[in-house]
Amino acid sequence: QVQVVESGGGSVEAGGSLRLSCAASGGTACRYTMSWYRQAPGKEREFVSGIDDSERSIYADSVKGRFAISQDVAKSTSYLQMNSLKPEDTAMYYCKTVAHCPRWFFTPKDYWGRGTQVTVSS
């Protein structure tokens, strides 16, 4: 079973920065594709950032130019650097990990972490 754990959330003032991490573990010889989502109270979960099959970084319009995604394949870890944070960025941030593992003949399987809270005050 693959486990996904997010970390790095916290409370910051508007204009501040945070760096989120997402670590995947538990899969033998698996390849992981990670992306970030967020959910604010009373709202649906929305896509924030990810890396597509061509290894291009993609972002929601609301975070372009402020957030940067990266991935350390060797560590099975994704990072989301968030700069110039705004109060509207306040949400629970989740990491979606798609695991491609030999034991499942590389059929992709989705896993989600429990999230890390980001709160931005004005």
pLDDT digits (tens, 9 = 90+) for 23-77: 999 988 899 999 999 999 999 999 999 998 788 999 999 999 999 999 998 999 9
**CA 114 and chain centroid, separation:** 11
**Contact yes or no for 81/19 (Cβ under 8 A):** yes
Q: What is the pLDDT of residues 58-71, one digit of tens each?
A: 999 999 999 999 99
The CA distance from 71 to 16, in Å, is: 22
Residue with tokens 């573990």: 25
Through-space distance between the first and last CA atoms of the chain, rounded to whole angstroms = 41
DSSP helix, strand, coil percent of the chain (3-state; round to 5): 5, 55, 40
